[in-house]
Structure 1
Amino acid sequence: MDVANRIRAKLTEALAPVRLEIVDDSHRHKGHAGHDPRGESHFSVTVVSEAFRGKSRVERHRQVNALLAEELRERVHALALRTLTPDEAA
């Protein structure tokens, strides 16, 4: 399974998002630190989930980073996160 699909599967299972957008930005970082010639090294992710209610932005990001710890260790160099509740996204 490719990295984007692993990210999608893990976040979907753990957070039951009402919206999940995953954008592979790797091509924009060619030649920069952390770039992997295989791609799938830099992502922008938007997650809208009720699971974030009552949590600070830092807590939300820590939660997502913990869920994706394996991907961050293995291949993902950069992960830009936007984490919202459904009310915040409306």
Structure 2
Amino acid sequence: MIADEIRDSLQVLQPTRLEVIDDSEQHRGHSGWREGGQTHFRIRIAAPALKPLSRVERHRLIHRSLGDIVPRIHALAIEIED
């Protein structure tokens, strides 16, 4: 499952809090949605490695950490907690 892959990939950031939510069902019938979900995700994360970075740098680091997962999903919302 993609949610598990996301969780595993973000462990490199040593998160103190990590929540990966599959929001796909809320987007049923919208662009990018497909049967079986796994298309729209929300990440809530707190990690010391993110604290000194700007918002843009935080998002870039998360995207780099996710690697080839990002092109396989339609939407990714990122909520960073301090």
Supply the distance in 2 between the matched residues of 1:72 and 1:54 (Cα, whole angstroms): 24
Please, which runs of 5 or more residues in structure 2 have no aligned partner? none
Equivalent residue for 2:36, pick from 19, 22, 38: 38
3-state DSSP of counterpart to 2:18: strand
Please, which runs of 5 or more residues in structure 1 have no aligned partner? none
Describe how 1:30-69 pairs up with structure 2 within 5 A. Answer: 30-69=28-67
The aligned length equals 82
The code of the aligned residue for 1:23 comes to I
3-state DSSP of counterpart to 2:77: strand
Supply the distance in 2 between the matched residues of 1:36 and 1:15 (Cα, whole angstroms): 30
Query: Please, what TM-score do these two structures have when normalized by structure 2?
Result: 0.93
Question: Quick check: 20-29 or 34-43, which moved more?
Answer: 34-43
Segments of 4+ moved more than 2 angstroms: none
Describe how 1:74-89 pairs up with structure 2 within 5 A. Answer: 74=72, 76-84=73-81, 88=82
Query: Please, what TM-score do these two structures have when normalized by structure 1?
Result: 0.85
Describe how 1:10-21 pairs up with structure 2 within 5 A. Answer: 10-12=9-11, 14-21=12-19
The code of the aligned residue for 1:28 comes to Q
Identity score, percent: 39
User: Can you list the C-alpha shifts for 1:40-77, whole angstroms capped at 9, x where unaligned?
Assistant: 11011011000012100110001111122311112x11
The alignment's C-alpha RMSD in Å is: 1.0
3-state DSSP of counterpart to 1:21: strand
